[in-house]
Amino acid sequence: MLTEKMKKEIKALKSRKINLTDEDAPEITAWEKGVVGKFYRPVKKQITIRIDADVLEWFKHSTKRYQTLINMACREYMLHHVKSPRRAKHKHA
What pLDDT shows up at residue 93? Answer: 43
Please, which pLDDT band fits residue 84 given cuts at 50, 70 and 90?
Answer: low
> What's the chain's length in residues?
93
From CA 78, how far away is CA 93, in angstroms rounded? 16
Are residues 78 and 88 in contact, defined by beta-carbon separation less than 8 angstroms?
yes
Average pLDDT over residues 27-51: 88
Q: What is the mean pLDDT of the chain?
A: 86
